[in-house]
């Protein structure tokens, strides 16, 4: 059975899952869904009703980081999994305090008890902590990307796009360059292709190559 990946193009959690799958070369059947109109098959598969959700022959994986690790454990031609333990701590900080500050900035109306400017400052402080690393290397842990880079960059992209001009003005040069290299990369372009919204009975779409599956 070819695994099925339920995804939503703009969701940073789904983006990072697709990045790892594309790097691994592991073929999946992509089902692009709308979060405002979740199909019954997706709701039946995903315990949390969130994307990404990967359905394999033996399990359902609906945590994005677990999808990334699953894909790279199948094949890791870029050696993305080779990083120090500190990389996992960095991902945890992105998924915790940084994502919380991001949401309270981007969706300020949903968080009336929090000042979006204070939350933005918190996020910028976390990013500033990355500058010593990016001073030394193109990526977080060396001259090539790691799991941490692919896990963090989609959220940095989401944060920067709240106000890209302001971000470019305020962000440390090293962080801005790291992000801009990602935004301009073929790696991102390959996983941000637009696919039609999936409906029951549609021909499967092969990802990462995007061809129809017999």
Q: Residue 110 belongs to a domain with what CATH number?
A: 1.20.1050.10
Residues 145 and 127 in one domain: yes
The answer as to whether 174 is a domain residue is yes
- Residue 149 confidence (pLDDT): 98
Q: What percent of the chain has pLDDT over 90?
A: 96
The answer as to whether 160 is a domain residue is yes
Residues 57 and 90 in one domain: no
The answer as to whether 165 is a domain residue is yes
What is the C-alpha separation between 53 and 65, in angstroms, rounded? 11
Residues 47 and 108 in one domain: no
The verdict on pTM exceeding 0.85 is yes
Residues 29 and 109 in one domain: no
pLDDT bucket at 109, cuts 50 / 70 / 90: very high
Residues 142 and 199 in one domain: no
Tens digit of each residue's pLDDT (9 = 90 or more) over 42-57: 999 999 999 999 999 9
The answer as to whether 43 is a domain residue is yes
pLDDT bucket at 131, cuts 50 / 70 / 90: very high
Residues 102 and 149 in one domain: yes
Range of the domain at 48: 4-77+192-207
- The rounded mean pLDDT for the chain is 95
Tens digit of each residue's pLDDT (9 = 90 or more) over 55-71: 999 999 999 999 999 99
The answer as to whether 213 is a domain residue is no
Residues 89 and 179 in one domain: yes
- Which residues, other chains included, contact 74 with Cβ-Cβ below 8 Å and sequence gap of 6+? 24, 26
Helices (H), the chain: 12-24, 40-45, 64-74, 85-93, 99-106, 116-128, 131-136, 147-160, 164-170, 173-183, 186-191
Tell me how many domains the chain contains: 2
Please, what is the Cα angle at 62 between 184 and 96, to 5 degrees?
65
> 98 with 155: CB under 8 angstroms?
yes
Mean pLDDT, to the nearest integer, of 143-166? 98
Residues 178 and 104 in one domain: yes
Query: Per the omega criterion (within 30 degrees of 0), is the bond before 89 cis?
Result: no
> Quick count: other Cβ atoms within 10 Å of Cβ 58?
7
* Half-sphere exposure for 57 (CA within 13 Å, toward CB): 2
- Residue 213 confidence (pLDDT): 36
């Amino acid at each position: 059975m070819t695994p099925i990946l339920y995804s939503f193009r703009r969701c940073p959690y789904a983006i990072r899952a697709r990045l790892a799958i594309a790097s691994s070369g592991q073929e999946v059947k992509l089902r692009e869904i709308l979060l405002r109109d979740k199909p019954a098959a997706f709701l039946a598969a995903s315990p949390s009703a969130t994307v990404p959700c990967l359905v394999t022959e033996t399990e359902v994986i609906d945590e994005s980081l677990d999808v990334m690790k699953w894909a790279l454990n199948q094949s890791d031609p870029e050696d993305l999994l080779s990083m120090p333990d500190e990389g996992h701590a960095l991902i945890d900080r992105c998924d915790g305090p940084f994502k919380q500050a991001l949401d309270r900035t981007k969706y300020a109306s949903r968080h009336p008890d929090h000042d979006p400017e204070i939350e933005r400052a918190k996020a910028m402080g976390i990013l500033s902590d990355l500058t010593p690393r990016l001073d030394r290397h193109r990526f977080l842990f060396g001259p090539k990307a790691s799991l941490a880079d692919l896990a963090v960059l989609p959220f940095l992209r989401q944060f920067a796009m709240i106000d890209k001009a302001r971000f470019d003005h305020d962000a440390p040069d090293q962080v801005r360059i790291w992000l801009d290299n990602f935004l301009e990369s073929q790696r991102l372009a390959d996983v941000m292709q637009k696919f039609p919204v999936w409906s029951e009975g549609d021909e499967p779409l092969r990802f990462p190559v995007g061809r129809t599956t017999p």
